[in-house]
Chain A
Amino acid sequence: GEDVEQSLFLSVREGDSSVINCTYTDSSSTYLYWYKQEPGAGLQLLTYIFSNMDMKQDQRLTVLLNKKDKHLSLRIADTQTGDSAIYFCAETPLSGGYNKLIFGAGTRLAVHP
């Protein structure tokens, strides 16, 4: 079935790089997404990658996709305290007709001085 798994918690020092990992099950997914949720707020689209790409870079964010292993990662360079949030990985399985997002449980990123 469709499932997205993430580690639940990551703690990094300010200025270091953060790497948040995600695995998914549906190899038919066309797009894979990273969303950010700050406390009490909605889901903010951070970035996405098309399934025929291996890597996408957007300023401090780098997304790596390994289709063979169905593994997606989000690297945040020079992590700041403002990056503290929950990060959700999401896929759009073909079985859903691209209509629905399947989310992981979210990784809580804590940035400390």
Chain B
Amino acid sequence: EPEVTQTPSHQVTQMGQEVILRCVPISNHLYFYWYRQILGQKVEFLVSFYNNEISEKSEIFDDQFSVERPDGSNFTLKIRSTKLEDSAMYFCASSEALESDTQYFGPGTRLTVL
């Protein structure tokens, strides 16, 4: 069964460093998403992406964040200058079409900012 994959599973970085989290969505899906879950808190929407552009972003998704689909298979989330409060589990998701709206999630990348 097709699945969303994410790498790395765990990333440790120093405050102020740039990180890139990688995702490979399900191959025939057209809509891509990033969510995050701070330990003990709700899963929060960050951004959605379609047709090579952001379709919606939350207040959390400020100028420190960017997303990219560098090729036909990868979808990345870049955090330019990490802060302690960026420590969280980051989930990538994809969906086939907007109307079906069923989002399939990857296993997540745990980001630890020291």
Instruction: Enumerate chain A interface residues (CB-CB to B < 8 A).
Output: 30-31, 33, 35, 41-45, 48, 88, 90, 92, 96-106
Contact = CB atoms under 8 A, between A and B. Distances in A.
B42 to A, nearest CB: 5
Contacts of B106: 42
A90 B95 CA distance: 15
A33 B104 CA distance: 11
Given A42-B106, A43-B105, A99 B43 contact: no
Max chain B C-beta neighbours (<10 A), residue from A33, A41, A99:
A99
Interface residues of B, number: 25
Interface of chain B, helix or strand or loop or mixed?
A: strand
B105 A98 contact: no
B33 interface: yes
Nearest to A97: B56
Contacts of B58: 100
Nearest to A30: B101
B102 interface: yes
A34 to B, nearest CB: 12
Given A88-B43, A100-B45, A103-B42, A31 B56 contact: no
Contacts of B102: 31, 33, 45, 48
Contact of B45 (A31, A101, A106): A101
29 contacts: A31-B101, A31-B102, A35-B105, A41-B107, A41-B108, A42-B6, A42-B91, A42-B106, A42-B107, A43-B43, A43-B105, A45-B102, A45-B103, A45-B105, A90-B43, A92-B101, A96-B45, A96-B56, A97-B98, A98-B98, A99-B31, A99-B33, A99-B48, A99-B56, A101-B103, A103-B42, A103-B43, A104-B42, A105-B42
